[in-house]
Structure 1
Amino acid sequence: MTDQPPVWTRDQIASPCINICVIHPTERICTGCLRTIEEITTWSRMSHDARAAIMGALPERAPRLKKRRGGRAARTGER
């Protein structure tokens, strides 16, 4: 066995990943979990407090992906 700590323990904040891993081209956040690429890649090494801060910020990011860019309003200029 190794002396390395386990990758995940029950008292840690679990990843918000929902296996829809697509980075939005303009917002630069994952359309599934709403994290940035940097947050995704460093998640396993983050402290509990850093993870909690990100989890708290995720709901505020969702509206950034809700903007419609097409449809009737775009064609007629009714924005």
Structure 2
Amino acid sequence: MITVPSPKKPSSPCTKVCILDAASGLCEGCGRSRDEIALWGSMSEPQRLAVMAVLGERLSRAFPNGGARTA
């Protein structure tokens, strides 16, 4: 029997806390913009990794008190 490996699931920073902040336009759970979320599936893995590399700092600047992440 030939076994075909299943496609690798794309990396994702999603925390299942999908709340788009009206002021910043960022998701309070992961820090991505609406456009980044919409394009995520069509991005290459290097593009996704580049976005994920800046999300921690982006969340800290946008939500200094933690936003929904601390709820």
Bin of the TM-score, shorter chain as denominator length: 0.7 to 0.9
Counterparts of 1:36-51 in structure 2 under 5 Å?
36-51=33-48
Question: Are 2:58 and 1:58 aligned?
Answer: no
Q: Which residue of 2 aligns with 1:29?
A: 26
Higher relative contact order (CA 8 A, sep 6+): 2
Report if the CA contact (8 A) 1:17-1:32 is conserved.
Answer: yes
2:40 & 2:29 partners in 1: Cα distance? Answer: 15
TM-score normalised to structure 2 length: 0.72
Query: Could you list the runs of 5+ residues in structure 2 that have no partner in the other structure?
Result: 1-5, 66-71
Query: Could you list the runs of 5+ residues in structure 1 that have no partner in the other structure?
Result: 1-5, 68-79
Q: Name the Cα RMSD after superposition.
A: 2.0
TM-score normalised to structure 1 length: 0.66
- 4+ aligned runs moved over 3 Å, structure 1: none
Give the length in aligned residue pairs. Answer: 60
